[in-house]
Amino acid sequence: MNTTTLPSTQRAGPPCPWRGLPLLRAMYRDYLGFTSGLQRDHGDVVAMRIGPERSLDLFHPDDVRTALVDHADHLVRWERGVSVLSQAFGQGLLVAEGDAWRRQRRMLAPGFQPRRVQGYAALMVDAAREALDGALPPGTRQAVLPMEDLFNALTMDVIMRTLFSSRAPAVARAAAQATQVLSQEALQEMFWPFSLPDWLPLPHKAAKRRALGVLNGLVDGEIAARRALPVEQAPSDDLLAMLLAVRDEDGSALNAAEVHDQCMVMFQAGHETTATALLWWAWLMAGHPEAAARAQQEVDAVLQGRDPAAADAQALPWLGATLKEAMRLYPPVAAIMTRRVRRPFELRGQVVPAGTLLRITPWVIQRDARWFAQPAAFVPERFLGDTSSQPRSAWMPFGVGPRVCIGQHFALLEMTLVAAMLLQRFTLHRVPGEADPVPRMHVTLRPAGVLRLGVGRR
């Protein structure tokens, strides 16, 4: 397979009558199905025009790298996405651009290096132990559980402990619910050219106002409590301590609004994504008992019944492969790496003009039979050993280029620890007679209904 020389194809695309409005409707109804169809029917580079908007969908990993790595400086995040997300995240790392983004990324990156992140393993393990030990009522050997609730509460607890050194499960649950409301509302708003004002007396606007109130109140309260503590009593090793202590090259600190906004970003970006990844992983493990048994044997052999530590992750290659394969089939951020071209650049010998909207959809790229044989099947083996037949960036759940997920080491460590501890305690089963979950795009990729699994003590 030659992935370095790409033919200079003419860009194709669907007809766009009525200024593309039927396409917009089809996209809104079923974004993933619509986008998969674009590649199937029109190839790797698909041009569309919807209203005044000219867009290109890129489906080849080499083209994705050309855009997001080689020409990262020519791109900014899609303004509509930024304007929707910044209602919750202010000007935090996720939505900032240019010099403001570079400054924040430079300041925060050291706090997310693998070595720093390993320092959070014990907190992650504490949160996982509490959630998993309480998952089944005492004395019960098995039950059918809504898994989303379990993982949402657990990953929110991890963020609360690592961000604020706070342990308040009820608060974590309220915060988890609030982020879900915001995520749902955000996706709806992204399909419209402007947001209706939040004060309108509409039920979903009221829910959004309440959700924002919960999260802002929580973050403000934690920051104020921390600032009020004498230095010697304040935790020095959580993410908030890092945000307050960090200094840029010129000695400047993050200002109060920046600290607040980063906390909001960590809340939303750092909890729902990881919960979603664990949710789909659990569903896949429940449906593939041999893969799950192999992971269980590996975990038992390495841990011998003790809690995992950060250093154990390397000794659990099969478990790691099941997690990677789950994020290939169900990438939590399935479709929102949308960028606006600010300065023209060349792609396949043709100029991509300024103003073009680029859309990159991991859901489609990661299910492409050219890079992943039997693309719809759960085959963790493909992540063991030599992966050189896959082009770089064919597996891209954390994104590509300078804006790659800053929390990827944090997330991978958390997922490995939680997955190992879950398998130490439980065996998962699908519930007979329940339909397979249908993935739906919110800001992350969630099942359309409630995903329940049988959870049995070992």
Q: What is the closest distance, in whole angstroms, from the C-beta atom of residue 398 to ligand HEM in the complex?
A: 5
Task: Report whether 311 contacts 367 (CB < 8 A).
Answer: no
Q: What is the closest distance, in whole angstroms, from the C-beta atom of residue 63 to ligand HEM in the complex?
A: 15
Strands 357-360 and 53-58, bridge-based pairing: parallel
Q: What is the DSSP string of 95-151?
A: T--HHHHHHHHHHHGGGGSHHHHHTTHHHHHHHHHHHHHTSS-TT-SEEEEEHHHHH
Closer CB to ligand HEM, 153 or 427, in the complex: 153
Q: What is the closest distance, in whole angstroms, from the C-beta atom of residue 91 to ligand HEM in the complex?
A: 12
The single residue listed with the structure tokens 């419209």 is 192
User: How far lies 108's CA from each of 103, 246, 402, in Å?
Assistant: 9, 8, 13
Binding site for ligand HEM (CB under 6 A): 93-94, 105, 265-266, 269-270, 273-274, 277, 332-333, 337, 397-399, 403, 405-407, 410-411
Closer CB to ligand HEM, 277 or 428, in the complex: 277
Closer CB to ligand HEM, 118 or 143, in the complex: 118
Q: What is the closest distance, in whole angstroms, from the C-beta atom of residue 290 to ligand HEM in the complex?
A: 25
Task: Report whether 410 contacts 117 (CB < 8 A).
Answer: yes
Q: What is the closest distance, in whole angstroms, from the C-beta atom of residue 112 to ligand HEM in the complex?
A: 7
Q: How far is CA 387 from the centre of its chain?
A: 23
Closer CB to ligand HEM, 75 or 455, in the complex: 75
DSSP class of 12? B
The single residue listed with the structure tokens 């089809």 is 26
Q: What is the closest distance, in whole angstroms, from the C-beta atom of residue 411 to ligand HEM in the complex?
A: 4
Q: What is the closest distance, in whole angstroms, from the C-beta atom of residue 116 to ligand HEM in the complex?
A: 12
Closer CB to ligand HEM, 105 or 452, in the complex: 105
Closer CB to ligand HEM, 266 or 299, in the complex: 266
Q: What is the closest distance, in whole angstroms, from the C-beta atom of residue 406 to ligand HEM in the complex?
A: 5
Closer CB to ligand HEM, 14 or 395, in the complex: 395
Q: Tell me the CA end-to-end span of the chain in Å, nearest whole number.
A: 45
Closer CB to ligand HEM, 265 or 428, in the complex: 265
**Which residue type is seen at 15?**
P
The Cα 387–Cα 369 span in angstroms is 15
Residue 434: which of 286, 331, 290, 291 has the closest Cα?
286
Task: Report whether 450 contacts 137 (CB < 8 A).
Answer: no
Residue nearest to ligand HEM (CB): 407
Q: What is the DSSP string of 162-231?
A: HHH----HHHHHHHHHHHHHHHHHHHHHHTSSSPPPTTS--HHHHHHHHHHHHHHHHHHHHHHHHHHS-G
Q: What is the closest distance, in whole angstroms, from the C-beta atom of residue 458 to ligand HEM in the complex?
A: 26
The Cα 296–Cα 227 span in angstroms is 44
Closer CB to ligand HEM, 372 or 410, in the complex: 410
Q: What is the closest distance, in whole angstroms, from the C-beta atom of residue 35 to ligand HEM in the complex?
A: 16
Closer CB to ligand HEM, 20 or 64, in the complex: 64
Q: Residue 68 CB: number of other CB atoms within 10 A?
A: 23
Q: Residue 400 CB: number of other CB atoms within 10 A?
A: 20
Q: 64 in helix, strand or coil?
A: helix
